[in-house]
A and B are shown apart, each in its own frame.
Chain A
Amino acid sequence: MPPITKPKLAVWKFSSCDGCQLALLDCEDELLAVADAVEIAYFLEATRAEISGPYDISIVEGSITTEDEAHRIQRIRASSKILIAIGACATAGGIQGLKNNREVRELVDKVYAHPEFISSLATSTPVADHVQVDFELRGCPIDKYQLLEALNALLNGRRPNVPTHSQCMACKMAGHVCVTVAHGTACLGPVTQAGCGAICPEFSRGCYGCFGPADAPNTRSLSARFEALGLKGEDISRLFRMFCSAAPAFDGEARNHE
């Protein structure tokens, strides 16, 4: 039977654009059912009301890029039974992970009018680098159905149906034509985890790798294919340095071409 007392759900934001949190609000048809199934204790994108911890489920968006965030994630972990990291930032450092390979002081000086106000760590790191994460949802942004599925599975005491295989399997099941084979377009699909519904290949674009590395990515072989398609070293490293730049498999392959 479903739990009689509603689990307390909190949604936390770190360094991110809020887009993944909005995926929860984007659930529209299912939102009332979610609100029925859980007690929303902390979710600033939805309500200013706050209920103090501990929390049954914490959903964490964003990467850790400041000292303050590094402390705050420890407190959240300590007050949460289950912690789910959502999105490319929380699971792979996000776009801001691009700074990991640069001199941060120089970047800050270039970007901000008053760089003296900026207090930032040298790196943007995923939540799992700091605390134990119970489940991860990939994507930039996450897929709202995967978020619903993860909550649903938790509430019903079953395993979430979230695949770790390649994007190619999603394309083939959906009937999308392979853009690499049929058009000669560079595509990260073969090394990227499925989950978005293969949106880009459906519209004849190569996959941008928003969902990060698939379960056993052979990035080196794919890069060789990119070279055969005419891409140069820098083009290839840029492909791997997009949304999941700090994911080890993508970071390592980008380095091979820098």
Chain B
Amino acid sequence: MSEALSDAKAKSPKYALNRAMLGELIELLSKEGHQLIGPQREDGTIVLNPITSLEDLPVGLEDEQDSGRYRLKSIAPDDARADSLFQTTVGPQSWRRYLFPPRQTLWKARRNGAGWEIDADAEATPKYAFIGVRSCDLTAIAVQARVYDNGDYTDPGFTARLGAAFIIAVNCTRAADTCFCASMDAGPAAREGYDIALTELAAPGGEVWFVAEVGSRRGADLLEAVGAGPAGAELVAAGEAAVAATARAMTRSIPADAAALLQRNPEHPHWADIAARCLGCANCTMVCPTCFCSTMEDVTSLDGQEAARLRHWDSCFSLDYSYIHGGPVRRDVKSRCRQWMTHKLSSWHEQFGTSGCTGCGRCITWCPVGIDITEEIAAFAKYQTTEIREEA
């Protein structure tokens, strides 16, 4: 996102804009050379695609999510939300798809006599505008930013792409059944890391209005440019109430002591129970917005004159991922389940000073056999046999 407003933000007014103004705003972004990326209906779900206008967004749709199940539904025409743009929550993809693409070429080389000429990848940094980033995903971007830029080591690609992006966040006025961002302190209201944050409100007549908060000077400039006026107290209050209701509607949660709970239970028999169901397919890590693991591949041309180093997403659930001399370290699925869940909810705190989970619920929905991280944690909390043994 662009330069932050810092303390000016607190004093900055909230704007009100209608759908036409929002349409104009993203058109301006497009004219400034931003590639617009937003949620779009595809194959029965919502994916993050390049878009050209608000018409590409999932107008009048909402999602039904449960463990191992996702369905899209049309909002009834007599529902005030029928023309809403942001009533679907998160789909299988997250913004890391654009900030840290699944496959990247890091550099190429060409044989030059006895040596090699390196051609460091000089691909231009794409200038994205992300439309509709949810609070959980803003948090995830911040979590990944700690991984890719920790002061000592920086991933130049991620950092440049994030720096060039304009971010329009959306505060959630509806939670999916799999959402638990409230318990992870990651939503449903966007707090930082955006240029503009919208709260979508449908008036009883069906007209959609947005309350906009500004996170950067450029965000404010754009809102002014499309004629957005100050939001009235009533509209602001309605927006805040809708977001607060979303937080209350969440039924799933992770307890605050999950990190310590997992630390205490590395040999808990429940791990075997999870492993009996786990397919080891890696879907949870592929849809997770904070997972960052990748692997390298060196490729050559057939005649050996050219070479390239590629990087692609990998997962702690693939057997190859922990392969070192002599074989993979995490041979059984049990140890891979434990690695993933314990890293995400526990050792991530020690490593990065934050949880690796933002409560987006993707791993619950997109697990083909519906393993639910919130239920598994609840099971550990219920049967703390390790402690019982220690006491006995």
Contacts and interface: CB of A to CB of B under 8 A. Distances in A.
Asked if chains A and B come from one complex, the reply is: yes
Interface of A: 1-2, 30, 33-34, 36-37, 148-149, 151-153, 155-156, 158, 161, 163-166, 168-169, 172-178, 180-184, 187, 189-191, 204, 214-218, 220-222, 224-225
B258 to A, nearest CB: 24
Interface in B357-377: 365-370
A239 to B, nearest CB: 14
Interface string B280-312: 111100110000000001111111100000001
B44 A182 contact: yes
B319 interface: yes
A216 B92 contact: no
B122 interface: no
A240 to B, nearest CB: 14
Residue among B103, B276, B280 with most chain A CB within 10 A:
B280
Nearest to B287: A172
B189 to A, nearest CB: 28
A164 B319 contact: yes
Contact of B43 (A151, A184, A204, A215): A204
A152 B280 contact: no
The 4 A-B residue pairs whose C-beta atoms are closest, nearest first, are A172-B286, A190-B281, A173-B102, A177-B43
Contacts of B279: 166, 168, 190-191, 217-218, 221-222
A104 B109 CA distance: 56
Interface in B11-68: 42-45, 47, 68
A121 to B, nearest CB: 33
A165 B319 contact: yes
Nearest to B315: A169
B70 interface: yes
Given A34-B302, A155-B302, A165 B320 contact: yes
Given A33-B303, A152-B302, A165-B318, 8 more contacts: A33-B301, A36-B302, A161-B299, A168-B286, A169-B318, A173-B286, A215-B319, A222-B368
Contacts of A178: 70, 92, 283, 366, 368
